[in-house]
C-alpha cells in the first residue's frame, strides 16, 4: 500500500473460491457534518520538554535562541508550534510539567471541510467516496454550486497545486452512495474505456412504491433521451441503448418495497425508468411517476461498487450501509 492510501474503517481482504483477491471497504452512511482532514508536519526542527509551569510564548522566548517575539507569533499563526503533537496558536497557552513542545519545519495544514461526502479510500490513482443525497457529482462550468468534483479538486490541490480530479462516472444529485474519481487523465481513460470489463459489481438499494409480488425479476428495454433530458423506455432495439436491470425484493409491506438492484448496463436514470416501467416508481421520483415523498429524498442508494484497480489489477469492493429510512419505511408490518 502506498504511503498516501487511505482505507476506511472496516477495510479488510478476503478470498473467494476461484476468484481474484478482493479487498472490502465498508462505511456507514455519511453524516451531515463535514469531513475534515489534517496533514501533519514531517521532521521537526526542535523539541523541548517542559519542566515547570509557563505560558507558551515566554517558554519559547527563553528556550529558542535567535528568534524574536514576532517570529514566534508568526509560527504560532502558521500552526508550526505543537504541544503534545497538537498545533497550538494561542501565545499564552498554559504549559504544564511533562508537556512536549515541538517546533516544526512545516506548517500544520487544516484542510477544507468536505460537505455531503466522505472519503472511503484514496491512493495515487483513485479516490472513492460515499456521497450524500442532494449533492451534485459535477456541475456545468456556468454553475457555481458546490459539487463532489469541486470539493475533491480543492482537497487534492491543498496537497499539491498541480493535482487534479477526473470524473469516471456519476450519480444523480438525489442518489446517495459509492462513487469513484480518477487522479489523472490516463487513469480516467483506462477506467472509462474498459468500464464494462473492470467493474465487477454495481449494486443499488431502491425504495419503491407498492408491494412487488415477484421476489426477483429482470427488466430489459432500450432507453432514449428526449429534448427535455428525460429518458424514455422502448421495447424496440432501434430506439435507444440496451438497458438491463436485475432486482431482488429484500423486504416489503403493503405500501413500499425495498429492492436490491444490480445493473448489467449503466444507462442514465436506468433504475428510475425501469421501476416506472413495472409500475413501482422509486419513492420521491416525481420525474418518473412517483406519487409519494415518504422519506423526503429519492429512494435510491448506490450501495456496492466493485472494480479492478486500474494499476494494481486487484479487485476492490466498497460497500455502504442501507440508509435507515429505507429500512424503516419498507419494514414488514407485524400482525398479532
172 is catalytic: yes
Cβ–Cβ < 8 Å for 118, 127: no
Query: Interhelix angle for 56-63 vs 69-77, to 10°?
Result: 120
| Residues ≥6 apart with Cβ < 8 Å to 153 | 164, 165
Pairing of strands 199-209, 300-308: antiparallel
The one catalytic residue in 125, 172, 174, 277 is: 172
Burial of 201 (0-12, 13-18, 19+ CB in 10 A): middle
CA distances from 90 to 37, 73, 100, 246 (A): 21, 9, 16, 59
10 Å Cβ neighbour count for 116?
A: 22
Best CA proximity match to 24, nearest among 128, 116, 171: 128
Q: Hey, which residues are catalytic here?
A: 172
Amino acid at each position: 500500500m502506498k504511503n498516501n492510501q487511505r482505507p476506511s474503517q472496516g477495510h479488510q481482504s478476503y478470498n473467494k473460491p476461484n476468484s481474484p483477491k478482493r479487498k472490502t471497504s465498508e462505511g456507514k452512511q455519511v453524516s451531515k457534518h463535514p469531513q475534515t482532514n489534517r496533514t501533519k508536519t514531517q521532521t521537526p526542527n526542535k523539541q523541548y520538554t517542559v519542566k515547570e509551569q509557563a505560558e507558551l510564548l515566554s517558554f519559547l522566548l527563553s528556550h529558542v535562541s535567535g528568534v524574536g517575539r514576532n517570529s514566534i507569533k508568526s509560527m504560532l499563526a502558521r500552526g508550526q508550534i505543537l504541544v503534545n503533537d497538537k498545533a497550538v496558536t494561542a501565545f499564552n497557552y498554559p504549559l504544564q510539567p511533562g508537556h512536549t513542545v515541538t517546533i516544526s519545519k512545516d506548517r500544520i495544514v487544516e484542510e477544507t471541510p468536505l460537505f455531503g461526502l466522505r472519503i472511503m479510500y484514496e491512493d495515487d490513482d483513485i479516490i472513492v467516496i460515499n456521497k450524500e443525497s442532494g449533492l451534485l457529482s459535477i456541475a456545468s462550468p456556468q454553475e457555481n454550486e458546490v459539487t463532489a468534483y469541486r470539493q475533491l479538486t480543492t482537497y487534492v490541490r491543498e496537497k499539491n497545486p498541480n493535482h487534479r480530479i477526473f470524473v469516471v462516472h456519476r450519480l444523480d444529485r438525489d442518489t446517495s452512495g459509492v462513487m469513484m474519481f480518477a487522479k489523472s487523465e490516463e487513469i480516467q481513460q483506462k477506467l472509462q474505456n474498459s468500464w464494462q470489463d473492470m467493474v465487477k459489481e454495481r449494486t443499488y438499494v431502491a425504495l419503491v412504491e407498492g408491494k412487488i409480488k415477484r421476489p426477483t425479476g429482470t427488466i430489459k428495454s432500450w432507453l432514449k433521451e428526449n429534448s427535455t433530458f428525460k429518458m424514455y423506455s422502448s421495447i424496440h432495439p432501434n430506439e435507444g441503448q440496451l438497458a438491463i436491470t436485475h432486482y431482488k425484493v429484500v423486504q416489503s409491506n403493503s405500501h413500499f418495497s425495498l429492492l436490491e438492484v444490480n445493473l448489467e448496463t449503466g444507462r442514465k436514470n436506468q433504475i428510475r425508468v425501469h421501476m416506472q416501467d413495472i409500475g413501482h416508481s422509486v419513492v420521491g421520483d416525481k420525474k418518473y411517476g412517483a406519487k409519494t415523498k415518504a422519506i423526503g429524498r429519492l429512494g435510491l442508494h448506490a450501495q456496492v461498487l466493485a472494480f479492478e484497480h486500474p494499476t494494481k489489477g486487484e479487485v476492490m469492493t466498497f460497500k455502504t450501509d442501507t440508509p435507515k429510512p429505507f429500512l424503516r419505511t419498507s419494514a414488514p408490518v407485524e400482525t398479532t
